Structure formats: C-alpha cells, structure tokens
C-alpha cells in the first residue's frame, strides 16, 4: 500500500499563519482542562446574549418556512434594510444590487480580496491591524504593505504616512474604525485627510471595516465612504456580530461599487452560496428594530474601558492610552522587554502573553500578529469581577519580572 507524503498539505496551508486570537483561546482552554482557573481576555466576542427581539424574529422566520437556500448576495428584503441603515447612520447611498450578505464580515473581506487582488498587487494595511487582514491578502497572492502608528499617535496613521506608502502597485487600502486591536476611532477630519491623499489615485479601492461601529464612545461614527472624493471606490464592510452580540449567527455584509459587488457574489457563489435564511430575517429586525440593547451594551463597555484603564495604569511600566471604540485595550509593554522571572525572559509580545498565561492564568493576545510587537491586546468583553481579578493577577505577575 502506497504511503502518503510526510506533509501532503498545500503550500498555501503550510505557509498560512494560524489565527493568533484563536490560538491563545485554545491554549487557555487546554490550561482550563488541566484544572486551572483561567480568565480569558483573548477573544473578541461580546459577553452579552443576542437581544430577545432578534431571537424572536429568527423563531418566527423558522415557523414561516425560512429554511431553504437564499440568493447568493442575500435576501432582497435584507439588502434593502442594509441600504436603509447605511443611509440613516452613515450617509451612504447604495442600491440593493450593490450589497452582498455573507457568512460573517470575514468572508466579505475574503470575497473582496479574491475579487480584486492579483499576484503582486499591493494592499496597504493600517497597523496595528486585525490578524486576518494580512493572512487573507497573502492567501490570494497580494503583498501586504503595513503602515504603522504607535501608541504615541493613538495608533492612527496620518495622510503623509499613507502618501509615502502608495506605489504604482497599490490596489487596495484596508483599515478598521473603530479598530481591532487598538480600539482607535478615526474622526471625520482625520478621514478627510486620508481621503485627500487617496483621491489622487483613481485605481485604488478603499476597504473600510466598520464592524465595531456601534461600540463607539465619540458620539458619532464617521464613514470614509461618505466623503465625496472617494465614495465611488470605497467598500464599506459591516455585520451583526459586535453591535448586536450575534457572533454565532455568522452574518456580515459589504456595500460598494456594483462591479465589485458582482465579483464578490460570483466568488461567494462558488464557496458557500447565500447565508442562512432565518438568520437573515432576524438581521432585518436587528437593523430596523429597537436599538436600546445595543446602546446599553455600549454604555457597559465604556464603563469597563474606564475601569480597565484605571487598573492597568496602576501597574508600573504599563503604558495605556484611551481608545474611543471597540472593547479592546492595546497597552505598550516594552518596559518589560529584557526582564526575567526564573528561566523565562521577556523578549517580545509573544513571550509576555505566554508568561501571563502560564504564570497568572490570564489569556491575552500578543501584538506581533497584529503588526505591533511592542503591545498586547486585552478584551474587556467580560464581567467587572473577571476584569478586576485578571488585572490583579497581571500586576502580581509583572512585579515578579526583574
């Protein structure tokens, strides 16, 4: 009988980075399985349940027979509701044929990169960035061009930095606001400064990931697609996971130029076809129904953010800025580099997070896969009791470093 080669997996899979957030969550589960009391601040998942009126809408849809295949780009009534929402909240004008509903916003990003990028095309990514951005771009043959801003800039790049990064190979600019992992939010004037640069280049597409839109503490979310000079080549991506606590529903959407929406629909038709029917019906209720639960969640996140900043700033050496959105903090930890505890030496963010996991039993995520090895990410989508205990353990752990 013939034997299988030592590693028959494709080069694509072999060279693909594992999701850092999923990896740390898995390590935390393994440690818990060994009987340790692990507090996980690693996953970007709301700790709230989906609001009742959205769940009820899904139940009604099931009873009404929404259990069949859906059109590849999504139910027409949902795409109309998305257009209504984008006009109401973002000042964006789209028709339903410019919208594609997918199995989560991650699939929207993959669809777009597959539709747009050829081998060697450059995609500028604002760093720090969500870990999957670079992996998806590289998977389709594109070249990632990170443009970085550190904690001293609140992790937000300038127009001058963007201008310097653009070449004749630049085809895509990708960023999130509010940002994962930093929680930074670009203001309207900051977006206008970026748009002024982008408007000079007719063949560049902007992908604006706005999945954390409703977890925004600035008072008003700004969408770069509403700026006249770039509106016709901006793709806005959003979804239901964060603002409506619907992570397990796997529903996201993109809205952009029709030719690009058609491309994304074509790609999706070969991979997954349309998203689930009853979930899409519930998503209509989420978009057009009572937003009170969403605003209540945002209020709770703001209170937790303030608590976490206060607690973390009490730890000597921990540098913490004040993010204005999402539910993450991204402290700078360079003050601990070179320090040791026993046979452990902290040389980078991976060392630091593993040190916290195995010494303090707190799961966090290194900044390295987010494009900034000087920092690490904590999610404060957890109870106040868990957050207080987690920071207490972190403080006790870093005090051991000499």
Query: With DSSP H G I counted as helix, E B as strand and the rest as coil, what are the percentages for the chain, rounded to 5?
Result: 45, 15, 40
Q: How far apart are CA 346 and CA 339, in angstroms?
A: 6
Q: Of 243, 216, 247, which is closest to residue 43 (Cα–Cα)?
A: 247
Number of folded domains that form the chain? 2
pLDDT at 4: 66
Residues 56 and 141 in one domain: yes
| Boundary residue ending a domain (269, 288, 307) | 288
Q: Is the pLDDT of residue 328 over 80?
A: yes
For a pLDDT cut of 70, what percent of the chain falls above it?
A: 99
We report the CATH number of the domain holding residue 261 as: 3.40.640.10
CA distances from 367 to 49, 131, 344 (A): 28, 9, 19
Which conformational region is residue 387 in: left (phi greater than 0), alpha (psi within -120 to 50 degrees), or beta?
Answer: alpha
pLDDT, one tens digit per residue, over 229-281 is 999 999 999 999 999 999 999 999 999 999 999 999 999 999 999 999 999 99
For residues 111 and 97, state if they share a domain.
yes
Spatial neighbors of 380 by CB under 8 A, at least 6 apart, are: 41, 301, 304, 305, 307, 308, 327, 328, 329, 387
Q: Is 188 in contact with 216 (CB distance < 8 Å)?
A: no
Please, are residues 248 and 279 in contact by the beta-carbon 8 Å criterion? no
- In a domain, residue 1? The reply is no
Give domain status of residue 216, yes or no: yes
Q: What does the block give as tokens for 252? A: 């996201």
- In DSSP terms, which residues pair with 91 in a beta bridge? none
CA nearest neighbour of 100 among 305, 329, 291, 254: 254
Establish if 4 belongs to a structural domain.
no
Closest CA to 364 of 328, 322, 336, 337: 328
Centre a 10 Å sphere on the Cβ of residue 278 and count the other Cβ atoms it contains.
21
Dihedral (Cα; 147, 148, 153, 154), 10-degree rounding:
100
Q: Which of 167, 174, 231 is nearest to 199 (CA)?
A: 231
Q: Is residue 6 part of a domain?
A: no
- Report how far residue 285's alpha carbon sits from residue 295's, in angstroms, rounded to the nearest whole number: 16
Per-residue pLDDT tens digits for 72-128: 999 999 999 999 999 999 999 999 999 999 999 999 999 999 999 999 999 999 999
- Whether residue 42 is found in the same domain as residue 71: no
Q: Which domain holds residue 257?
A: 52-288
Last-in-domain residue among 288, 303, 333: 288
Q: Taking the model in full, what pTM does it have?
A: 0.94
In a domain, 380, yes or no: yes
User: Are 253 and 319 members of one domain?
Assistant: no
Q: Provide mean pLDDT across the span 356-375.
A: 96
Question: For residue 102, is it within any domain?
Answer: yes
Is the same domain home to 257 and 119?
A: yes
Rounded to an integer, what distance in angstroms lies between the CA atom of residue 70 and that of residue 74? 6
Whether residue 62 lies inside any domain: the answer is: yes
pLDDT digits over 151-187, tens only? 999 999 999 999 999 999 999 999 999 999 999 999 9
Phi-psi map region of 203: left, alpha, beta (phi>0 left; psi -120 to 50 alpha): alpha
Task: Evaluate whether residue 134 is within a structural domain.
Answer: yes
pLDDT of residue 246: 98
CATH of the domain at 313: 3.90.1150.10
Contact (CB, 8 A) for 397 and 359:
yes
Angle between helix 384-398 and helix 292-312 axes, rounded to 10 deg: 20
Same domain, 221 and 91: yes
Same domain, 184 and 163: yes
Indicate if 121 and 213 belong to the same structural domain. Answer: yes
* Cα distances (Å, whole numbers) of residue 333 to 126, 306, 338, 339, 368: 20, 19, 11, 11, 12
Could you say which of 256, 272, 288 is where a domain stops?
288
Maximum distance among all alpha carbons in the chain?
67
């Amino acid at each position: 009988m013939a034997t299988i080669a030592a590693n028959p997996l494709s080069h694509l899979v072999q060279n693909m980075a594992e999701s850092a957030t999923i990896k740390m969550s898995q390590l935390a589960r393994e440690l818990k399985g060994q009987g340790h009391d692990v507090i996980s601040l690693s996953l970007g998942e709301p700790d709230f349940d989906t609001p009742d009126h959205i769940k009820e809408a899904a139940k009604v849809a099931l009873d009404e027979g929404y259990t069949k295949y859906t059109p590849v780009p999504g139910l027409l009534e949902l795409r109309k509701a998305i257009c209504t929402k984008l006009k109401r909240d973002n000042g964006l004008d789209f028709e339903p044929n410019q919208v594609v509903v997918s199995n989560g916003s991650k699939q929207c990003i993959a669809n777009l990169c597959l539709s747009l990028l050829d081998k060697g095309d450059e995609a500028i990514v604002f760093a720090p960035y969500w870990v999957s951005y670079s992996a998806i771009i590289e998977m389709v043959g594109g070249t990632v061009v990170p443009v970085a801003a550190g904690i001293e800039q609140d992790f937000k790049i300038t127009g001058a930095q963007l201008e310097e990064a653009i070449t004749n190979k630049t085809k895509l600019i990708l960023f999130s606001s509010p940002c994962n992992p930093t929680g930074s939010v670009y203001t309207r004037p900051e977006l206008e400064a970026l748009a002024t640069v982008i408007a000079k280049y007719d063949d560049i597409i902007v992908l604006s990931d706005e999945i954390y839109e409703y977890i925004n503490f600035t008072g008003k979310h700004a969408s770069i697609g509403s700026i006249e000079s770039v509106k016709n080549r901006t793709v806005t991506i959003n979804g239901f996971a964060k603002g409506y606590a619907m992570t397990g529903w796997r529903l996201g959407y993109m809205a952009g130029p029709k030719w690009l929406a058609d491309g994304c629909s074509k790609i999706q038709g070969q991979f997954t076809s349309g998203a689930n029917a009853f979930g899409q019906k519930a998503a209509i209720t989420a978009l057009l129904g009572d937003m009170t639960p969403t605003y209540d969640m945002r209020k709770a996140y703001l209170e937790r953010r303030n608590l976490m900043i206060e607690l973390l700033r009490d730890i000597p050496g921990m540098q913490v800025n004040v993010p204005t959105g999402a539910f993450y903090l991204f402290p700078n930890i360079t003050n601990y580099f070179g320090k040791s505890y026993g046979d452990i030496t902290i040389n980078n963010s991976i060392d630091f997070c593993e040190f916290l996991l195995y010494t303090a039993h707190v799961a966090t995520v290194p900044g390295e896969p987010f494009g900034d090895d000087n920092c690490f990410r904590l999610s404060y989508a957890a109870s106040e009791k868990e957050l207080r205990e987690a920071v207490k353990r972190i403080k006790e752990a870093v005090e051991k470093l000499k």
